[in-house]
Amino acid sequence: MSSVFFSYTTTQEKEYLNKLFEERRWFKSEKFDAFLPKNKDSIEKEVINKNDPLSKKIIWLRKEWKKIERDYFKVVKKFQHAKFSSRYKCHVSRFDPEGKYTRPDMLFVRLRNKQDKKRIIETIGHELLHLICADFFEFNRLGYAGREGMIDALILQSNLSKLFPRYEKQSIGKVRPKLLKIILG
């Protein structure tokens, strides 16, 4: 069965923040909230000088995710056209949008404030679905709104809704009902 491995390294954080700075215009054009350092020159200082170490938060996150991991993958294994890695890497950050992914098996989640802490398990589930369904979505030429809508629908119309009872649908999503029916079988 698949599993998620959580980590934080300053090297990974710096690389990630540099990449996010390259995508800054997209965040603004999509009106997408993202916590970033004020400028690219302050990345080093922000990463090193944080007084709030993530190590205790990652231990907490690992325990919380493990509570649902088996049930999560049990539900998702039933989806048609899903492709799995045996292990997913999750970089925990203080910056970025709430969640992000990079194929084939990397996800990024933000754990910065109380709101992030309340939603982080849902965010992990959401970003994992992007990775698991990426090939099918690409084959069917889904754009950003289509992918987000399908992920929301997969969570809300499957047994994942029992694992994420407070999951909120995003306003930007567009669902393709025929594709949703294919995935849900």
pLDDT in tens, 50-62: 656 788 899 999 9
Domains held by the chain: number: 1
Q: Residue 11: its pLDDT value, please?
A: 84
User: Rounded to whole angstroms, how far apart are CA atoms 53 and 22?
Assistant: 26
User: Rounded to whole angstroms, how far apart are CA atoms 28 and 41?
Assistant: 20
Q: Give this prediction's pTM.
A: 0.88
Task: Say if residue 16's pLDDT is above 90.
Answer: no
Average pLDDT over residues 63-86: 98
Q: Whole-number mean pLDDT of the chain?
A: 89
Q: Which domain holds residue 157?
A: 3-184
Q: Is 102 left (phi over 0), alpha (psi -120 to 50) or beta?
A: beta
pLDDT bin (cut points 50, 70, 90) of residue 42 is low
